[in-house]
Amino acid sequence: DGTFYSLPYPTPFRFPGCGFAGYQSACGSWLVFPRDDGCFLVDPFSRETVTLPPLSSVRLRPPNAVAKWSYEHGAKVADPYVTWMHMKDSDKLHISKLVVCSPNLVAALVGIGYTSQILMCQPGALSWSVRAYDRCKRFEDMSFYQGKLYALTKGENLLVVNISDDHSTGDPQVSRIGQVIKGDPWFSYVFGTTTMLCKKLYLVESCGAMLMVRRTIFCRVPTTVEPLLDQVRLRFSRLTLSIQDGSRCRRWGLTRCCF
């Protein structure tokens, strides 16, 4: 609802004359507000505002990209997998994560539900850029670390996003996505008759290192009536993992536990 708290104090922190209800995401000190004619970022401390393009204005690469479909047992399915072209016109499209990498570069995870794609733009630009035929993934988080953009998938794979400039417009765009760390994941599962073990992943920077935090959640098995998130009974950070040095594809290494 846009209420701020200054930890560890229990009382709300007030910004006189300003209301911030309705923000969709946050990045550092920026709050992200979606609108029909575009998005804008607001820094409640400095009152600075930055405008971003609407999600309906996306420059495709290649520009003639189209959605490909096939039929299985009479049902229409994405072929060979879900891309930006299959979800770009949905009214459920939303920004799940936004990263202000520099004054000239903003990256965002945009999608439907848990599935998303990486979009890029310059602040104040008229459109985003997307690789239209890249496979959409279940991205959990994204972070800009030591001059590079990283994305984390549900399978705990860490990807590095290489960025280049469009030769005709000079706008930033994704040139290549490579895997830095291969995850050794576990997925949600049910044990007993009423309990499900789920997880949520985060990328954070601490003491100069990039960390992956895995939050483990015990919750009741969801029913068709009650949503899962309302069933949470206990939540805590299970373990913290860090990137190891080296040039080849690495694995996560355990560093510490947080509770």
Instruction: Return per-residue pLDDT of the chain as tens, 259 residues.
Output: 778 888 889 998 877 767 788 888 888 889 998 877 788 899 988 889 999 999 999 999 999 999 999 998 889 999 999 999 999 999 999 999 999 999 999 999 999 998 999 999 999 999 999 999 999 999 999 999 999 999 999 998 999 999 999 888 889 999 999 999 888 777 777 777 777 778 888 898 888 888 888 887 777 776 543 444 433 333 333 334 444 444 455 667 665 555 4
DSSP assignment of 167-198 equals TTT--EEEEEEEEEE-------EEETTTEEEE
pLDDT value at position 253?
Answer: 67
- Distance, CA of 197 to CA of 140 (rounded, Å): 17
Q: Tokens representing 136?
A: 């959409």
The residues, any chain, with a CB within 8 Å of residue 109's CB and separated by 6 or more, are 95, 96, 97, 98, 116, 117, 118, 119, 139, 142, 151
Helices (H), the chain: 84-87
**What would the two tokens of residue 78 be?**
């994405």
pLDDT at 110: 96
Rounded Cα distance between 235 and 229, Å, is: 11
